[in-house]
Amino acid sequence: MPTPNASSRPRRVNRLGLTPSDYKGKPSTLCKGCGHDAISSQLIRALFESDVRPHQVAKLSGIGCSSKTPAYFLNHSHGFNAVHGRMPSVATGAVLANRQLVAIGVSGDGDTASIGIGQFVHLVRRNLPLIYIVENNGVYGLTKGQFSATADEDAALRSGEVNKLPSIDLCGMAIELGATYVARSFAGDPKQLVALLRGALAHNGTAVLDILSPCVTFNNHAGSTKSYTWGKDNEEPIHIVDFVPAMDEIEVEYEEGTDQEVQLHDGSWVRLRKLEREYDPTDRRAARELLLEADDNNLLPDRAALSRHQQAHLPRQP
């Protein structure tokens, strides 16, 4: 059987008719393998899958490698790169000035837990509608890898220097401050990350996402507690996270003996036929004839299309 080539494959579009490429940004200038780039990729996916209108998004950040990342997703949106640790004030102004904005703040552990801690605290306390992403690598990546305030006690730098200060747990702090959506994830867990980002996009209030995001240049070695290996070895999911968007129930009303086409939430169509009142449900032969007639009239689902749909949507068998 001939396999469809790339050009004959249908373009993947969301409910706005946009493709994943419409959610991309400029090429990244970060180190190859940096956790921050993995987070940007999952943001692109989550925004596409949640049908977010790019022009309604405001991307806000401070200073750091993490704070550079808004340039690497959503080319067609608004953006403001604030002073180090001051993203929350700029975000507060933006969401108060325009209530329609989808505000996404991207920060680092230095930007949030060190210089910006006061701003973070007040933003969370106010529960402003903003997705607050902390790309947490335990170091100041941009200024060559000094410990930040989220570095774990006894974690070591590559140079051998050991952190003797207790770390600040941003999730614990956000919960203490009354935050309404708090999650911790890992840049190396795309499935969990997309679900959490989609949940954050649907949330009304501050959504704090503390994401372990390894710095491959300064903090990805054996003594680090923010490396890819550490993340993989110590990830203990509390839940299997998934996101199911809230949709209105679809209702139809039509006459007996007639057809009705109904559009589903994913944009696809289904044709319904209501049988006539005189139809006898105990007559096996009549039932088979009805199905054959429907098949002759191309009213049954196209088997090839159904099989393609199942392959694309059903979970793989173990």
Ligand X SMILES: Cc1ncc(C[n+]2csc(CCOP(=O)(O)OP(=O)(O)O)c2C)c(N)n1
For ligand X, which is the closer residue by CB, 52 or 124? Answer: 124
Positive or negative: CA dihedral 81, 83, 88, 89: negative
Work out whether 34 is an interface residue with ligand SF4 (CB under 6 A). Answer: yes
Q: Which does 63 bind (CB under 5 to 8 A by kind): Mg ion, ligand SF4, ligand X, none?
A: ligand X
Q: How far apart, in whole angstroms, are the C-alpha atoms of residue 183 and residue 46?
A: 16
Which of 137, 185, 224, 227 binds ligand SF4 (CB under 6 A)? It is 137
Map residue 22 onto helix, strand or coil: helix
Work out whether 65 is an interface residue with ligand SF4 (CB under 6 A). Answer: yes
For ligand X, which is the closer residue by CB, 18 or 63? Answer: 63
Q: Which residue has tokens 């006898």?
A: 280
Q: How far apart, in whole angstroms, are the C-alpha atoms of residue 17 and residue 312?
A: 19
For ligand X, which is the closer residue by CB, 39 or 52? Answer: 39
- How near is the Cβ of 147 to ligand X at its closest, in Å? 10
Work out whether 215 is an interface residue with ligand SF4 (CB under 6 A). Answer: yes
End-to-end CA, the chain: 26
Enter the tokens of residue 53. Answer: 């209108």
Work out whether 39 is an interface residue with ligand SF4 (CB under 6 A). Answer: no
How many chain residues are in contact with ligand SF4, going by CB under 6 A? 12
Q: In the bound complex, which residue of the shown chain has the CB atom lying closest to ligand SF4?
A: 141
Residues making contact with ligand X (CB under 6 A)? 63-66, 84, 108-111, 115, 135, 137, 139-143, 148
Our separate counts of H helices and E strands in the chain read 10, 10
* H-state helical runs in 146-248: 170-176, 190-202, 228-234
Question: Largest alpha-carbon pair distance within the chain?
Answer: 85
Which of 141, 188, 199, 231 binds ligand SF4 (CB under 6 A)? It is 141
Binding site for ligand SF4 (CB under 6 A): 30-31, 34, 36, 65, 137, 141-142, 215-218
